[in-house]
Amino acid sequence: MDLSKEETDQIIAMAEDIIADRSRYESLMAHRKLATLFYEPSTRTRLSFTSAMMELGGNVLGFSDAKSSSVSKGETVQDTIRVVGCFADIIAMRHYIEGAPLAAAEVSRVPIINAGDGSHSHPTQTLTDLLTIKRELGHIDGITIGFCGDLRFGRTVHSLIKALSRYSGVKVVLIAPDELRLPDYIKQDVCESMGVEYRETDNLDEAIPELDVLYMTRVQKERFLDEDEFDRVKDSFILDARRMGLGKPTMAVLHPLPRVNEILPEVDADPRAAYFRQVENGKFVRMALISKLLQWKDDPEHTMPKGEEPILDPTLHCSNAKCICNQEHVQPRFRKGTGGTMRCWYCDSKVK
C-alpha cells in the first residue's frame, strides 16, 4: 500500500518521538506478530525489522531464505501470503520479483510492507532516509540532494526521489555514468510531472559543492546480466577525504549500505558521514511504521489513500521479464504515465 505524504510525516514524527522516549513504546506491540519473508539477501533491513518489533514488545517469525519455505515446492507469492496472514498481524516482504509485494498486498488480510522488490523500489529505506535527512539537516523541504552511482538499478534511489517529489523546493543532481542513469519513468513521471528541478552529470567533483545531501550508492552487481559491463562501471565514483573537502561543512553523506568501494573508510571519521547513524534511524522508523500501520488498521476512522484505479487491458503487456505479472499468475494491470505512455502497475516498466 502507498502512504500519503501526511502519513509519511506522521511516521517520521513518531520515529522522532520514539528516539526521545523509548520507554513509552516498549510494550506497544505486545502479543502482536510480524512475519519477515525475505526471498533475497538482507542484513540491515531484516534485522532492523526484527529488532524494531522486539523493541516494541512484539514477536517475529518468518524466513530469510526462501529455499527453506514452500516456495521451493512452487508456491506462489499470493498463496504464501494467504497462508502467512493466518499466523501474523503484519508482514514485511523482500522479493527479487518486481511488484511481488504489491501483488501480495492485493490478497492479504494483514498489512504488507515492501522491504525491497528487485531493482524497482525500497520504500522503508526511503522512510529511513527521510528521517536521517530531517535529523541531520533539520528539514527536508528546499534541500539539494545529489544521487551518485547506480541510479539505474538502485531501488533506494527510485523510492527516495518519488518521496522527495512531495516536498517543496527539492533539487536533485543525478551523478552517474551513462550506463547507470536514472530510468526514464522516474525522470518523466516523477521529476517532470511533479515539477522537481533535476540535472544530470557524470562529474562528482563538479556537483559536490552545491549539495546539502550526497546520497552514495553501490553498483548493484547482482542486477547486471553482463559481467563486463559491471566491471566497466563498478568503480565509477569513489568518495574520499579529498572529495569531502569540496563539500559544504553542513553536507550529510548518506548511503543505504552495504558499501563496497564507493566510500573509502577514511571518510567514516568525518562528522558529515551519516551512513551509520542512518542504519539506526532505520530501526526507529520501522518501529513507527509497524505501530502506525497496525493502529490505522484497527481504527475504523482511518482510511488509507485509495490512489488511482488500475487499467485492465488484455491487449497490453508489461515488457519486464522480472515483473510479477510475467512470473506468476497475476493479472497484468496498467496505469497512465506522462505523455500518453502506459506503465505496468506492478513494476512501472514500459508497456508493449
β-strands 171-175, 144-148 pairing: parallel
The nearest distance, CB 119 to ligand ASP, in angstroms, is: 8
User: In whole angstroms, how far apart are CA 24 and each of 18, 178, 186?
Assistant: 8, 49, 40
Considering the complex, state which of residue 41 and residue 142 has its C-beta at the smaller distance from ligand ASP: 41
Using CB under 6 A, which of 58, 62, 116, 183 touches ligand ASP?
116
Using CB under 6 A, which of 50, 156, 236, 291 touches ligand ASP?
156
The nearest distance, CB 220 to ligand ASP, in angstroms, is: 6
The reply to whether 333 sits near ligand ASP by the rule CB under 6 A is no
Considering the complex, state which of residue 102 and residue 257 has its C-beta at the smaller distance from ligand ASP: 257
Q: Cβ contacts of residue 114 below 8 Å, gap of 6+?
A: 93, 101, 102, 121, 122, 123, 124
The nearest distance, CB 23 to ligand ASP, in angstroms, is: 30
Q: Cβ contacts of residue 43 below 8 Å, gap of 6+?
A: 258
Q: From residue 236 to residue 275, what is the string marking binding to ligand ASP with x (rule CB under 6 A)?
A: --------------------xx------------------
The reply to whether 155 sits near ligand ASP by the rule CB under 6 A is yes
Amino acid type, 92: A
Site size for ligand ASP (CB under 6 A): 7
The reply to whether 292 sits near ligand ASP by the rule CB under 6 A is no
The reply to whether 122 sits near ligand ASP by the rule CB under 6 A is yes
N- to C-terminal Cα distance for the chain? Answer: 26
Considering the complex, state which of residue 1 and residue 257 has its C-beta at the smaller distance from ligand ASP: 257
- The burial class, CB within 10 Å (0-12 / 13-18 / 19+), for 350 is middle
Considering the complex, state which of residue 108 and residue 156 has its C-beta at the smaller distance from ligand ASP: 156
Considering the complex, state which of residue 239 and residue 351 has its C-beta at the smaller distance from ligand ASP: 239
The count of other CB atoms within 10 Å of the CB of residue 224 is 18
The reply to whether 322 sits near ligand ASP by the rule CB under 6 A is no
The reply to whether 124 sits near ligand ASP by the rule CB under 6 A is no
What is the C-alpha separation between 72 and 49, in angstroms, rounded? 24
Amino acid type, 172: V
The reply to whether 278 sits near ligand ASP by the rule CB under 6 A is no
Max CA separation in the chain (angstroms): 56
Q: Among 117, 150, 146, which residue's Cα sits nearest to residue 215? A: 146
Considering the complex, state which of residue 71 and residue 157 has its C-beta at the smaller distance from ligand ASP: 157
Considering the complex, state which of residue 40 and residue 55 has its C-beta at the smaller distance from ligand ASP: 40
The nearest distance, CB 103 to ligand ASP, in angstroms, is: 19
The nearest distance, CB 238 to ligand ASP, in angstroms, is: 16
**CB burial string 145-181: b at 16+ within 10 A, e below:** bbbbbbbbbbbbbbbbbbbbbbbeebbbbbbbbeebe
Considering the complex, state which of residue 115 and residue 140 has its C-beta at the smaller distance from ligand ASP: 115
The nearest distance, CB 308 to ligand ASP, in angstroms, is: 26
Q: Is 99 left (phi over 0), alpha (psi -120 to 50) or beta?
A: left
Amino acid type, 133: I
The nearest distance, CB 300 to ligand ASP, in angstroms, is: 35
The reply to whether 33 sits near ligand ASP by the rule CB under 6 A is no
Residue with cell 519486464: 320
Q: Are residues 165 and 194 in contact, defined by beta-carbon separation less than 8 angstroms?
A: yes
The reply to whether 218 sits near ligand ASP by the rule CB under 6 A is yes
Considering the complex, state which of residue 158 and residue 335 has its C-beta at the smaller distance from ligand ASP: 158
Binding residues for ligand ASP, rule: CB under 6 A, are 116, 122, 155-156, 218, 256-257
